[in-house]
């Protein structure tokens, strides 16, 4: 079974779908890294676990988007068609 019927469809998927999958894969890793660092600080400030988890969720989403933009920028910088 072929997923892509032609190479153009595969290239479009690689440009749009692959970064989304990378973000989905890396978000839990970033979450696991930030929980032990930020939870004690945020919990003492807010005294609420849902608020603490919500703030960390927003930070993780923001960090994931920034990292994806950085990787896209570096990818176009090193692998442009102008070489």
Q: Round to whole Å and give the CA distance between 38 and 44.
A: 10
* Cβ atoms of residues 56 and 34 within 8 Å: yes
Q: What is the pLDDT of residues 1-58, one digit of tens each?
A: 477 777 777 777 777 777 778 888 889 999 999 999 999 999 999 999 999 999 999 9
pTM beyond 0.75, yes or no = no
Which two structure tokens, joined as six digits, stand for 55?
């703030």
Q: What is the pLDDT of residue 79?
A: 61
Q: Round to whole Å and give the CA distance between 72 and 51.
A: 32
Show me where the domains of the chain are located: 47-76
| Eight-class DSSP state of 5 | S
Please work out, in degrees rounded to the nearest 5, the angle formed at the alpha carbon of residue 71 by the alpha carbons of 17 and 9. Answer: 25
Q: What is the pLDDT of residue 44?
A: 95
């Amino acid at each position: 079974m072929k997923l892509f019927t032609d190479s153009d469809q595969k290239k479009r998927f690689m440009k749009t779908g692959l970064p989304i999958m990378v973000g989905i894969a890396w978000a839990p890793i970033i979450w696991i890294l930030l929980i032990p660092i930020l939870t004690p600080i945020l919990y003492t400030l807010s005294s609420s676990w849902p608020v603490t988890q919500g703030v960390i969720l927003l930070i993780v989403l923001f960090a994931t988007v920034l990292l994806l933009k950085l990787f896209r920028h570096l990818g176009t910088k090193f692998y442009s068609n102008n070489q």
